A and B are shown apart, each in its own frame.
Chain A
Amino acid sequence: MYMLKNVLRNLSASPATRSYPVEDREPFPAYRGRIHNAVEACIFCSSCAKICPSGAIVVDARGGRWDYDPFLCVYCSACVEKCPTRCLKQECTHRTASVDKFVVSKRGTPPRAKKAREEGSKGQKAPAGQE
């Protein structure tokens, strides 16, 4: 019986939910959304790939390639916090649903020539060094 008042109130009130695709809520500014790499500033240090708990990022330091699989990513933002150049950003909007899986692949120029001279010749994935 006690619920009756509530039920009647809800019956005459507007719905608690939004009509979603038509009406969208502003995302919270702190929301962990899509990962974006401003690749011009990326130094291909592989820090993000190393910290990523789900292995969503693969960095090819030699070829200057940064691959990110949004379907493996768990949106924890560990990579964003680790990135030394702050080129990795997390936006507050989320990716929309997709029919196909894909990998976001970005290409840039690694500061390889300069680095290689400074650090001597190391292995392929050397620039990141040992933690």
Chain B
Amino acid sequence: MNRTTVIPFGPQHPVLPEPLHIKFVVEDETVVQAVPQLGFVHRGLESLVRTKDFKQMVFVVERICGICSCIHANCYCNAIEDMLGVTAPPRAQFLRVIWSELHRVHSHLLWLGLFADAFGFESVFHQFWRIREHVMDICEATAGNRVILSVNVVGGVRRDLTPDQIRWMLEQLNELEKGVLDMSKTMLQDYTVQERTRGIGVLSKNDARLLGAAGPTLRGSGWACDERMRGYAAYKELNFVPVVEQDGDCYARSKVRFYETLHSLELIREALHRLPESELAVKLPGNPDGESVFRVEQPRGELFYYVRANGGKMLERMRVRTPTFANIPPLLHMLPGCKLPDIPVIVLSIDPCISCTER
């Protein structure tokens, strides 16, 4: 007798308010197969390149993903700058790193909260989101918006930091760090947390490479692979070291994100202390022509932009590859064999961002 049941997960589900649908074939409590379905929220943002000029597109690409908007814009601007043969001035490069890292911190804090929510630790969830308000305030006070920062333009940045702001930011960062460190014992040593995350959703080192995992999912499986190591923007001048964990389970991935949050805070501080003096943006020598690709590190992994232009104001083609897309095959590999209550924990452990995947 066939004892399997099919349980649908999403596109509307309490733990993942994003439109990802997975059909789980379960036998008793054990998942035997996971069949994904994507494509619920296609917005056609890539095709907008043909109707908006390349400078306006910065505001469109920022809206691909709410949570790492600044990093999308950073990647897009870098791709166009490469094509135009210009480089953003040093101060702009540092500011881009500062805002990108602020985004990484708020994305990771959001994720740590959601992850705690997935294994039912509500007080941790609220605590992380409470700490996160410091970053949101910094973003709002410096860039003018909480989430969609709109600070990048092709050729540089639009906003500067005054010495007063830098001082205030450093104070806020200290507060923030205190808050994060306060949570370190809970996230790293707590019995309940370990019971729910350790040994679950294991992705071996070899599988992570074969299935093309990206970001913390890849680094949680023992690969020191981070786009920031390439040293785009000002990363080459900062003390950046990738965070790597070996176990490849949900616990390892949460550790990677936890330590990355702390490391990002360090990077922001270092960048603030070493902010060079220069203008904020360079003049552009005309319209872009040709092809260009650029990769940056998003909170979720490697983000890839391909742009093609023909010398006009509008681009011809743009293609974005987001890290969640890369992380779906590894996710499907982790799920079979797990127990039903572990599904939310495993799905969240790749930090899925579906709206970004489907644009």
Interface residues of A (CB under 8 A from B): 1-3, 6-7, 10, 16, 28, 30-32, 51-54, 74-78, 81, 131
Contacts and interface: CB of A to CB of B under 8 A. Distances in A.
B359 interface: no
A30 B189 contact: no
B37 interface: no
A10 B190 contact: no
B42 interface: no
28 contacts: A1-B190, A2-B190, A3-B121, A3-B123, A3-B127, A3-B186, A6-B186, A16-B130, A28-B140, A30-B143, A30-B144, A30-B159, A31-B140, A31-B144, A32-B144, A32-B145, A51-B55, A51-B56, A52-B56, A53-B52, A53-B57, A53-B59, A54-B59, A74-B63, A75-B145, A76-B150, A77-B144, A77-B150
Interface of A is mostly: loop
Contact of A81 (B57, B158, B183, B313): B158
Nearest to A27: B140
A6 B190 contact: no
A16 B133 contact: yes
Nearest to A6: B127
Contacts of A77: 144, 150
A74 B123 contact: no
B59 A76 contact: yes
B60 interface: yes
B185 interface: yes
Interface in B102-150: 121, 123-124, 127, 130, 133, 137, 140-145, 148, 150
A109 B265 CA distance: 52
Nearest to A51: B56
B286 to A, nearest CB: 12
Pick the most buried of B57, B140, B144, B191: most chain A CB atoms within 10 A of its CB. Answer: B144
B182 interface: yes
B182 A78 contact: no
A2 B186 contact: yes
Contacts of B52: 53
A5 to B, nearest CB: 9
Contacts of A52: 56
Nearest to B141: A28
Nearest to A76: B150
Contacts of A74: 59, 63, 148
